[in-house]
């Protein structure tokens, strides 16, 4: 807003009287008075003067009178034409106003300026000569513009507008200016001009900054993808951003002024109204919820809303609501949920199928194993060496197949959450000794050395002995399977700092990469999945071992490096270790330079 300057009439300024006499004029006045007194005394007969003296006195009287009259005329002329007295008789306006005041003659030449103009421009207030209006003002095509201003002042009596000027620091400032025409009687009616300027640089900069902020905010609102609404206290829409057209298919003017509830899905209205009332009651609350709005085409759009009350802010006076279209995201969530449920259902069906088929296979398989053992024992008659070899192959293959079926059953139960533990007291060193003994012959045939080291005095372990032995057997079996001839497999057991039990199986085998480790821990995962792979197996050992460890409240982790070896670590919680010390002897022993890192 521009500062208010006074109206602009054509001014006729009164002549000013002499403010005082110069010393010479005082002396002439005293001489004039003295001669006049002497002449008066002579004429009254009180004093008789010689004729020559009387003539000389009259001459001096005439000269003194002329000097006084001429001095007064000259003084009055000089004073009345000074800039400060052209403003007012006392010069108070000229001295005290903060506005800049500049005087021009009829040719638009500068003839004076006040202290306010000097402070605005940095020019000397007491010096006029050598300065022109071009020392003060700035801007493009300045001469043409000044000529236009002068013509308007001469024609209409005044001009009002904004001009750029040079500030004392060299920067360009802005001033609101009023130029008026005035006529001075001292100049015989010659026309001159006066300009009153007010520095509005700071105000102009503030207005420019505010305008820039408004334009940026407008650009932000117009280009943001979300819908921005301002709701009145009664729930009507006071403002709607242009994005309503993209999200709801409605122009902002169509939404503004309507009741927001009219756009809501009937099932969502009560819930949204409750949250809206809470936001009005507490301006510090930021409400977040999802609901549905009707599109202009008739379908429903799911939006995520964030709202906060700004009722008390006079610049807003409502509740600001930001709406984001999440319809696509909700569709994806629904599709993912359906796919997850479908996958879980398929997994349950798979597990049930495996359990059923495993039961069906185990019954005849037990018969095959049983009859092979009967034949081997000679209950059906003596067998030749070749027959005995064939029957033994049948028994071993049947045992292997039964082991696989049992693994499948256990895995299916674990995935279904139906695998239960048969709690008992387990002597750790005895369990490890049994596991090593069961696989020692297989390791020797493969040319692999197996050693064990169990910390003495380990307490008994509370858990399912068969399942814990199954974990240890799976880990040892894998280590032997993937370690080449001449390699080494080490198993150690001991307590850790938190009181739990740690069993570590380490080998010097082929190792695995990080990606291969992830595959190995998946059910039916095969690191080497080609038809001509070097190592047999179903890929159930490690996943089942991990499930059994977790069923005991523990964990199973693998650490492996390609062509270096693999280390499997089984951790069981301290709560499963009792106070009694196991009676079994420490199983085996490993040379210090070849054993895996012992328990801490």
- Residue 82, judged by CB atoms within 10 A of its CB (0-12, 13-18, 19+), counts as middle
Three-state secondary structure call for residue 306: strand
Q: How far apart are alpha carbons 355 and 362 in whole angstroms? A: 10
Are the CB atoms for 376 and 395 separated by under 8 Å? yes
pLDDT tens across 134-172, in order?
778 888 888 888 888 888 988 898 999 999 998 888 889
Superfamily of domain 95-205: PAS domain (3.30.450.20)
CA angle (91, 94, 96) in 5-degree steps: 100
Q: How far apart are alpha carbons 133 and 529 in whole angstroms? A: 94
Q: What is the mean pLDDT of residues 279-284?
A: 84
Q: Count other Cβ atoms within 10 Å, centred on residue 515.
A: 9
Q: How far apart are alpha carbons 473 and 464 in whole angstroms? A: 14
pLDDT the model gives residue 493: 94
Q: How far apart are alpha carbons 66 and 60 in whole angstroms? A: 10
Q: How far apart are alpha carbons 270 and 243 in whole angstroms? A: 26
pTM of the model: 0.42
Q: Count other Cβ atoms within 10 Å, centred on residue 401.
A: 15
Q: Count other Cβ atoms within 10 Å, centred on residue 450.
A: 25
Distances (CA, A) of 468 to 235, 366, 378, 411: 66, 24, 36, 15
Is pLDDT at 98 greater than 60 in this prediction?
Answer: yes
Q: How far apart are alpha carbons 294 and 263 in whole angstroms? A: 5
Looking at the chain, the whole-number percentage of residues with pLDDT higher than 70 is 72
* Domain 333-411 CATH assignment equals 1.10.287.130: yes
Q: Do 95-205 and 420-578 show the same overall fold?
A: no
Neighbouring-strand partners of residue 321: 229, 307
pLDDT band at residue 598 under the 50/70/90 scheme: very low
Is pLDDT at 90 greater than 60 in this prediction?
Answer: no
Tokens of 534: 């070097």
Helices (H) and strands (E) in the chain, counts: 16, 20
Q: How far apart are alpha carbons 131 and 158 in whole angstroms? A: 23
Give me the helix-helix angle, 327-377 and 385-416, nearest 10°: 150
- Residue 177, judged by CB atoms within 10 A of its CB (0-12, 13-18, 19+), counts as buried
- Give long-range contacts, CB 8 A cutoff, 24+ apart: 120-126: 120/165, 120/167, 120/173, 120/175, 120/197, 120/199, 121/165, 121/166, 121/167, 121/168, 122/166, 122/167, 122/168
pLDDT band at residue 1 under the 50/70/90 scheme: very low
Secondary structure letter of residue 499 according to DSSP:
S
Q: How far apart are alpha carbons 359 and 405 in whole angstroms? A: 8
3-state helix vs strand vs coil in the chain, percent to 5: 45, 20, 30
Are the CB atoms for 552 and 572 separated by under 8 Å? yes
Q: What is the mean pLDDT of residues 505-519?
A: 84
Q: How far apart are alpha carbons 73 and 15 in whole angstroms? A: 12
pLDDT tens across 379-434, in order?
778 888 888 888 888 887 887 777 777 777 777 766 666 677 889 999 999 999 98
- Residue 291, judged by CB atoms within 10 A of its CB (0-12, 13-18, 19+), counts as buried
Q: Count other Cβ atoms within 10 Å, centred on residue 565.
A: 23
pLDDT the model gives residue 3: 41
pLDDT band at residue 72 under the 50/70/90 scheme: low
Cα radius of gyration rounded to whole Å, the chain: 56
Distances (CA, A) of 68 to 61, 74, 115, 429: 11, 10, 35, 139
Q: Which fold has domain 420-578?
A: Heat Shock Protein 90 (3.30.565)
Q: Which residue has the higher pLDDT, 78 or 17?
A: 78
Q: How far apart are alpha carbons 323 and 334 in whole angstroms? A: 21
The two beta strands, 459-463 and 488-495, are unpaired
Is pLDDT at 19 greater than 80 in this prediction?
Answer: no
Length of the chain: 600
Q: How far apart are alpha carbons 189 and 182 in whole angstroms? A: 9
- Give residue limits of the domains in the chain: 95-205, 224-331, 333-411, 420-578
Is pLDDT at 108 greater than 80 in this prediction?
Answer: no
Tokens of 541: 């050992």
- Residue 35, judged by CB atoms within 10 A of its CB (0-12, 13-18, 19+), counts as buried
pLDDT band at residue 470 under the 50/70/90 scheme: confident
The two beta strands, 565-572 and 501-507, are antiparallel
pLDDT band at residue 462 under the 50/70/90 scheme: very high
pLDDT tens across 532-557, in order?
334 444 556 788 888 889 889 999 99
Q: How far apart are alpha carbons 66 and 406 in whole angstroms? A: 145
Exposure b/e, 155-176, CB count within 10 A at least 16 = b? eeebbbeebebbbeeeeebbbb
CA angle (396, 397, 402) in 5-degree steps: 100
Q: Which residue has the higher pLDDT, 51 or 260?
A: 260
Pick the CATH number of 224-331 from 3.90.870.10, 3.30.450.20, 3.20.20.480, 3.40.800.20: 3.30.450.20
pLDDT the model gives residue 503: 94
Neighbouring-strand partners of residue 310: 318
Tokens of 559: 């650490």
Q: Which residue has the higher pLDDT, 580 or 303?
A: 303
Three-state secondary structure call for residue 498: coil
pLDDT tens across 211-238, in order?
888 888 777 777 778 888 899 989 899 9
């Amino acid at each position: 807003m521009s500062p208010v300057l006074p109206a602009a009439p054509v001014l006729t300024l009164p002549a000013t009287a002499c403010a005082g006499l110069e010393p010479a004029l005082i002396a002439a006045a005293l001489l004039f008075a003295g001669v006049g007194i002497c002449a008066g005394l002579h004429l009254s007969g009180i004093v008789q003067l010689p004729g020559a003296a009387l003539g000389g006195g009259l001459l001096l009287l005439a000269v003194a009178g002329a000097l006084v009259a001429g001095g007064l005329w000259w003084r009055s002329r000089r004073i009345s034409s000074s800039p400060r007295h052209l403003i007012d008789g006392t010069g108070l306006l000229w001295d005290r106003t903060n506005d800049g005041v500049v005087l021009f003659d009829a040719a638009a030449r500068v003839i004076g300026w006040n202290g306010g103009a000097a402070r605005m421009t940095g020019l000397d207030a007491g010096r006029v000569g050598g300065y022109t209006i071009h020392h003060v003002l700035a801007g493009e095509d300045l001469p043409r513009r000044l000529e236009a201003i002068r013509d308007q002042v001469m024609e209409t009596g005044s001009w009002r507008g904004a001009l750029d000027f040079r500030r004392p620091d060299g920067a360009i400032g802005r001033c609101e200016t009023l130029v008026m025409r005035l006529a001075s009687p001292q100049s015989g009616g010659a026309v001159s001009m006066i300009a009153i300027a007010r520095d509005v640089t700071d105000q102009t900069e503030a207005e420019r900054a505010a305008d820039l902020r408004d334009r940026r905010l407008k650009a932000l609102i117009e280009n943001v993808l979300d819908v921005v609404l301002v709701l009145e206290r009664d729930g009507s829409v006071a403002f709607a951003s242009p994005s309503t057209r993209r999200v709801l298919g409605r122009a902002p003017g169509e939404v503004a002024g309507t009741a927001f509830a009219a756009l809501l899905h009937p099932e969502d209205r009560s819930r949204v109204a409750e949250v809206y009332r809470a936001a009005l009651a507490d301006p510090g609350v930021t409400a977040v919820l999802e609901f549905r709005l009707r599109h202009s085409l008739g379908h429903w759009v799911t939006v995520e809303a964030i709202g906060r009350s700004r009722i008390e802010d006079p610049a807003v006076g409502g509740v600001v609501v930001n709406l984001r279209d999440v319809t696509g995201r909700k569709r994806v969530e629904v599709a993912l949920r359906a796919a997850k449920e479908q996958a879980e259902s398929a997994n349950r069906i798979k597990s049930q199928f495996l359990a059923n088929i495993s039961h069906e296979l185990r019954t005849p398989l037990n018969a095959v194993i049983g009859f092979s053992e009967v034949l081997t024992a000679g209950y059906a008659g003596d067998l030749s060496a070749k027959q005995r070899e064939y029957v033994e192959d049948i028994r071993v293959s049947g045992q292997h197949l039964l082991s696989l079926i049992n693994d499948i059953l256990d895995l299916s139960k674990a995935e279904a959450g139906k695998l239960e533990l048969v709690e008992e007291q387990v002597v750790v060193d005895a369990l490890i000794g049994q596991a090593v003994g069961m696989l020692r012959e297989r390791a020797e045939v493969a040319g692999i050395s197996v050693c064990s080291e169990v910390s003495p005095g380990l307490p008994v372990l509370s858990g399912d002995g068969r399942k814990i032995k199954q974990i240890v057997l799976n880990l040892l079996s894998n280590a032997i399977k993937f370690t080449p001839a001449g390699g080494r497999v080490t198993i150690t057991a001991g307590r850790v700092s938190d009181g739990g039990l740690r069993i570590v199986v380490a080998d010097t085998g082929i190792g695995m990469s990080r990606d291969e480790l992830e595959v190995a821990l998946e059910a039916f995962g095969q690191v080497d999945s080609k038809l001509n792979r070097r190592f047999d197996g179903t890929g159930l050992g490690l996943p089942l071992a991990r499930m059994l460890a977790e069923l005991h409240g523990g964990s199973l982790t693998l650490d492996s490096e390609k062509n270096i070896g693999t280390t499997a670590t089984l951790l069981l919680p301290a709560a499963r270790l009792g106070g009694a010390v196991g009676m079994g002897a420490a199983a085996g022993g490993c040379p210090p330079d070849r054993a895996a890192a012992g328990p801490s």
